[in-house]
Amino acid sequence: MGAKRTDFIATVIINLIVAAVVGILIFLLAYILIAGLPHVSWSFLTGTTDAFSGAGGIGVQLFNSFYLLVLTMLISIPISLGAGIYLAEYAKDNWRTSLIRSAIEVLSSLPSVVVGLFGFLLFVVKFKIGFSVISGAIALTFFNLPLLTRNIEESLSAVPRNQREAGLSLGLSKWKTEIGIILPVALPGIVTGIVLSAGRVFGEAAALIYTAGQSAPVTNFADWNPMDAASPLNPFRPAETLAVHIWKVNTEGLASNASQLSAAASAVLIIAVLLFNLGARVLGNFLYRRVTASK
């Protein structure tokens, strides 16, 4: 049977390809974890970095990464939700919409260096905000927006039309229909999208080097008033993230154990992304069940 044999061969080839891909993935993860994990300790996770050698812990950087991520998401989720709804619901199918879509996609494919430099010249220099969490968050928002917007639009459009008709035929406004009926159904897809973009944001360095800065001033973790200069929550302080830290240790680090430090930091970063992914997945499912009352 020719067809059957072809089928068999094709299946074998695909399995080989997958094996190769999985092999690469496992190698990468193993490489990072094996090189890094032995150097990870509690004091490494919570300690502060020695500013001159780059040695020491990464507590502040870890916090900065999460803080920046949260701030970025706080800014970008509402905007992309609004924009996604606009595209899914209000945008007519004409040249203007297609221009808007192109604009969004161009933004998403801009190299992050360029975004970073733009953020630098605009926020840091022009608006004199300086190297700060907020500058970094806005720069990250720039390239988070297109990803999230596209994802939200797609998730919303994937909800069957008859759900929309159901809402509209009851006299609900378009907005109410979209927010109360379509959005909950689209939620798992949206959460997955947020996870994916969160991963990218978490690992981004190029855009942050010039915006959030490369220094992690020691902060006072007992002071949670965002207005205080020493507070970790102060959005106007410079904030080196984990990814930037890895970059810096690798490029300028003077410590004799620089490579171990960066390996350890990389391992922590990967694990953080992993935990974050898992958490968001669980949350997505939970929300979905809550909202749709299924099971």
Partner 1 sequence: MLKQYSFEKTAVQTFAGNVSLAMRTENLQVFYGANHAMHDADLGFPKNQITALIGASGSGKSTYLRSLNRMNDGIATVTGKIWYHDVDINEPNVNIYEIRRHIGMVFQRPNPFAKSIRENIVYALKANGIKGKAELEERVETSLKGAALWDEVKDSLDKSALALSGGQQQRLCIARSIAMEPDVLLLDEPCSALDPISTVKVEETLLQLQKKYSIIIVTHNMQQAARVSSQCAFFHLGHVMEYTPTATMFSNPQIPATQDYISGSFG
Partner 2 sequence: GKATSSSSSKGSSSEALSGKVTAVGSTALQPLAAKAGANFTAKNSKVTLTVQGGGSGTGLSQVQAGAVSIGDSDIFAEEKDGIKADKLTDHKVAVVGMAPVVNKDAGIKNLKMAQLKQIFTGKITNWKEVGGKDQKIVIINRAQGSGTRATFENAVLKGTDAVKSQEQDSNGAVQKIVGSTPGAVSYLAFSYFTNKLQAVSIDGVTPTDNNVETNKWKIWSYEHMYTKGTPDKATTAFLKYMDSKDVQDSLVKDMGYISIHDMKVAKDAKGTVTQN
Partner 3 sequence: MEQTNFQLKKQDAQSHEWDVRLHRATRATREDWLGRGISYLCIGVIILVVASMLWFITSKGIATFTQNHVSLWKFLSGTNWAPDQGNIGALPMIVGSFAVTFAAAIVATPFAVGTAIFMTEISPNKGRKVLQPVIELLVGIPSVVYGFIGLAVVVPFMRHLVGGSGFGIISATFVLFVMVLPTITTMTVDSLRAVPRHYKEASLALGATRWQTVSRVILRSATPGILTAVIFGMARAFGEALAVQMVIGNAAIMPKNLISPASTLTSQLTTGIGDTIDGTLPNNALWSLALILLLMSLFFNALVRFIAKRGQLKNGR
By beta-carbon proximity to partner 1, the closer residue of 47 and 184 is 184
Considering only residues 59-118, where is the footprint of partner 3 by CB under 8 A? 78-83, 85-87, 89-90, 98, 100, 102-107, 109-115, 117-118
Residue from the set 217, 233, 257, 288 that interacts with partner 2 by CB under 8 A? 217
The per-residue DSSP string of 222-242 comes to T---TTSTT-TT-TTS----H
Chain-centroid distance of CA 131 in Å reads: 20
- State which residue, 47 or 130, has the beta carbon closest to partner 2: 130
Residue type, 212: A
Quick one: which of 236, 240, 239 has its CA closest to 248?
A: 240
From the list partner 2, partner 1, partner 3, none, pick the one residue 184 interacts with, judged by a Cβ distance below 5 to 8 Å according to partner type: partner 1
Cβ at position 213, least distance to partner 2 in Å: 5
Q: Which of 67, 123, 131, 142 binds partner 2 (CB under 8 A)?
A: 131
- Interface residue list for partner 1 (CB under 8 A): 1-4, 160, 162-163, 165-173, 176, 180-181, 184-185, 291-295
Q: How many C-beta neighbours within 10 Å does residue 4 have? A: 8
Shortest spacing between CB 182 and partner 3, in angstroms: 12
253 binds, among partner 2, partner 1, partner 3, none (CB under 5 to 8 A by kind): partner 2
Amino acid identity of 91?
Answer: A
Q: How far apart are CA 270 and CA 240, in angstroms?
A: 17
> What are 280's two structure tokens?
């968001």
- The Cβ-side half-sphere exposure at 143, using a 13 Å CA radius, reads 28
Please tell me whether residue 187 binds partner 3 under the rule CB under 8 A: no
Distance CA 76, CA 86 (A): 15
